[in-house]
Structure 1
Amino acid sequence: MRLDKYIAANTPRSRAEVSKLVRQGAITVNGARAIKASQHFDERGDTVMLLGETVKALGETYLMLHKPAGYICANSDAEHPTVIDLLIARDSKKFAHPLPIEHLQIVGRLDIDTTGLVLMTTNGDWNHTITAPNKKCLKGYSVETAEPIDESLAVKFLEGIQLNNEKHLTKPAILRVLGNTRCELDISEGKYHQVKRMFAACNNRVTSLHRYRIGPITLDTHLEEGDFRLLTPSEIALNAS
């Protein structure tokens, strides 16, 4: 790994500051003065010291974000703002150490106009426990539709819906009607625009879609749109089991 990247990810120092500290002789690798900020080292076996203190890896990062409409779930995009942009804009004000932005994986994506819970992590195995199809992780959505929702739709969703251009029915989904045009829906898949396509197949149109739960993790009601926080150890353990 690059020296400046490692130190910036595990201390409050920026890459520019790391370069300056290297020139000042304040950084060593295995006791030898670092030559340049871009030099590579083995983070499993080498020891990096900054101003006489060992720089230790902070460990894996786990976040929940309350995604607003208008942002896409991508690390970068030339046309639209991303959920990563939200982290960058607020990161410096929230934590003593910078987030490892370049290593974050988005766990379960949302459409640009869908709001709600987005999880992010640097732990690929943890990501897999949520997103792998065989894990059958339930995602909970609050849905509003253009037309009234018939109570009989709950049975249809449980039996599976035939989506346009799909060979197989959707997996059983749990629909709870809350009002004339409001419901909650639990699905275990993540097909492209799946919730919208399921209602469209039943001659209805989704006008508002909000994800409030992924597996056992529920969106923190104290998080305003665009805000985020670290997951608690108990939340991390819930999806690891």
Structure 2
Amino acid sequence: MTKAPTSRVDKLLSSMAYGSRSEMARLAKAGGIVLDGVELADASARIAVTPDLPKRMQIDGEPLDPLQGMVILLHKPLGMTCSHKEDGPIVYDLLPKRWRGRDPAISTIGRLDKQTSGLLLMTDDGALLHRIISPKRHVEKTYRARLARPLTGNEAAVFASGRLMLEGEEKPLVPAGLEVMSPTEALLTVTEGRYHQVRRMFAAVGNHVEALHRERLGGLTLPDGLAAGQWRLLGTEEISLIFS
């Protein structure tokens, strides 16, 4: 049986952006930290960091935030970016404000551009992030594209050929799958993550993407009931679906 890791209470809460260690010491003395119904007066005490800790610990009367290793599934709305460097609203604004200060920081797993909506994952688990985006993993991503012009009928063969070159690049794309939904709508499944790849692929065959929405990542599908701007935490089984 694997022994649970331990941490000082003040160090744990500081890494979760509740405040500095000295602030956590004062909060503990004021009775603001409760574990299993008992006030923890000493913030320097070490506790076992078990998966059920958020259910057992309260901070100022509220349940403890999720521990490190969380994976967030977000229905990204249009008009938001995944980068802190761009102006305007960013996807991190949709999360609780305190989570912006966590260490390790929460990052998006890959990016969706400002005019693309749909399934976006976020995590503070760096190893998992790199595992998902690694080209060696070939994690599939499926996008629903609405096009400006009707499909001609040869796009599926071109995308599946493994010979399509994007403008400005010297390496052809890995084969991708196209499922035609209507004359101007299709599902495109890719395993790479090149810059604006889906839009550039359709541009390469003489079309233009008017709307783009990511529906699936690996074996994980965006839930029908999750509205744009909403998010939820994924469990272990759901995370494993990404690689199925």
What is the TM-score with the length of structure 1 in the denominator? 0.76
Q: Give 2:110's match in structure 1, choosing from 103, 108, 111.
A: 108
SS at match of 1:143: strand
- Structure 2 match to 1:15: 19
Q: Displacement, 1:5?
A: 6.5
Q: Structure 1 residues 57, 233: closer, same or farther in 2, change over 3 A?
A: closer
- Structure 2 match to 1:214: 217
- Structure 2 match to 1:38: none
Q: Structure 1 residues 20, 77: closer, same or farther in 2, change over 3 A?
A: farther
Q: Which runs of 4+ in 1 moved over 6 A?
A: none
C-alpha separation in 2, matches of 1:168 and 1:56: 44
Q: Give 1:229's match in structure 2, choosing from 205, 226, 232.
A: 232
Q: Displacement, 1:56?
A: 11
C-alpha separation in 1, matches of 2:28 and 2:155: 64
Q: Structure 1 residues 201, 9: closer, same or farther in 2, change over 3 A?
A: same
What one-letter code is carried by the residue in structure 1 that aligns with 2:234?
Answer: L
C-alpha separation in 2, matches of 1:125 and 1:181: 39
Q: Displacement, 1:63?
A: 0.8
C-alpha separation in 2, matches of 1:230 and 1:150: 41
Residues 79-112 of structure 1, C-alpha deviation per residue, up to 9 Å, x if partnerless?
12111111136xxxxxxxx757532121121011
Q: Displacement, 1:77?
A: 3.8
Residues 43-63 of structure 1, C-alpha deviation per residue, up to 9 Å, x if partnerless?
9xxxxx999xxx998341011
Q: Give 1:118's match in structure 2, choosing from 111, 117, 120.
A: 120
Q: How many residues end up aligned between the 2 structures?
A: 211
Q: Structure 1 residues 101, 63: closer, same or farther in 2, change over 3 A?
A: farther
Q: Structure 1 residues 6, 78: closer, same or farther in 2, change over 3 A?
A: farther
**Conserved 8 A contact 1:157-1:172:** yes
Q: Which range moved further: 63-72 or 160-169?
A: 160-169
**Conserved 8 A contact 1:126-1:240:** no
Q: Structure 1 residues 78, 112: closer, same or farther in 2, change over 3 A?
A: closer
What is the TM-score with the length of structure 2 in the denominator? 0.75
Q: Which range moved further: 178-187 or 145-154?
A: 145-154
After superposition, residues 21-40 of structure 1 pair within 5 angstroms as 21=27, 24=30, 26-30=41-45
Q: Which runs of 5+ in 2 are unaligned?
A: 1-6, 32-40, 50-56
Q: Which runs of 5+ in 1 are unaligned?
A: 32-42, 44-48, 90-97
Q: Which range moved further: 116-125 or 76-85?
A: 76-85
Taking every aligned residue pair, what percent have the same amino acid on both sides? Answer: 37
- Structure 1 match to 2:147: 145
SS at match of 1:15: coil
Q: Displacement, 1:156?
A: 0.4
